Structure 1
């Protein structure tokens, strides 16, 4: 579809963007460079999708909003999704979200489905944080990375914004309000595909402060052959388990009150994590069967 509706980036179309993509691929040691498209759209957005060969799409609104260094962060972010294998499952999850109201073939009740969907969206949000780290490695400039999040939150008028005040909003967002506000926060975040920009900037700063960014620049990072040992199930269970980590460390008034009553969240984490794994595996199997059947169907002109 994007071949017909968007501009494919190469050495003659958006050549500076093509140079940025190639440079990011070199920095991240990408074995294959995904195709990059620019599509007309007023909103600043970028995404990586695709089943067999992932590709990256940037909107013209994003190009108008970001400068060259900021676009390097964005391209690195999306390339991180492609290299991490996120595109396949993000594409499937997109279909799953669209079909969520008609999944009668899944043997789970309404609340169980809500828990699975929430865990899937949590994985999606965590994958965005991983993408931000890839973008940071490509740009290697903290101020640029924070500026990207500020622009996504408040537009292009950086002279009207303050980095430290922006980062302070994340801590204020979590600790202020009463239990009713805590409920609203959970409901607002539950079906968001991306973490809020303020929270993304804060998480990126924490990652840098923990020394993990510096360690990678120093050559201490997992090798690609080690990544082959991971699987989708562990990814999803890790995302579900992050609920417990956030629960334990949160200063939100609602979460603090719930902690005082004790919790059986460990068991819930394991059940939801396994449930998400089973659902994702089933969705991929069905999706693959549908694609194979489609490929086997005779087309016009076939003998």
Structure 2
């Protein structure tokens, strides 16, 4: 497996491309938007500079890594010789479904098609193709070059050889793969997102403020960041989308998104990406955003 294609040059896509290229794979990084591609490659270069400053890589390694990344807006051409394609587009079933239909048409017959989805059914995406046994989930964690876990999600029809290949490939990247089955939220988000949602409920109910909730979880539970700060980092729109998948999948009220989360997303307060969420990420990054503003 030498030729990799990554669909989507956003946060996860450029991180996945960075990781594969740094592990000596040729990577076609695909996005429909030329500006997004340029930003994605610029982000990779910036992150490589950070590694360089910490003496984790050499200047030569940085140059080699960037040379292995081939940006493209032409999906058909970029995946025509791919051994593995990893879709890292928006967490939206309709968008992913259309991409998988195209990949099934454009890719070589033996290519494995993976998705970086954090919650959408692998089995459902596989059903849109003529190669369901070759569809699998590779859920990387953000930031991809640093985080060790890859949640490898086996769909109902994913074959044993494909699963074994992806497990071994993840180890080749220096990651720790964990195989899980295809149910809403898998393992990571089935546990994490209800916790984040409950933290938002705690704020919504006036039990404590943003800083207080995050401080309790950081100092009391030894979490590296509080759940509200983590929600900002993930993106509140992404958190909402995952909670909606859980709620739809389990039909259980405990997975219902908090009204405050819904309102914040409607108001365009997405967290770091919009520079405003539970915290203020404007230039000084100093002020907590009052949740009451969005209630």
Q: How does the TM-score come out when normalised to structure 1?
A: 0.28
Decide which structure has greater strand share.
Answer: 2
The higher-RCO structure (CA 8 Å, 6+ apart) is 1
Q: Which has the higher helix share?
A: 1
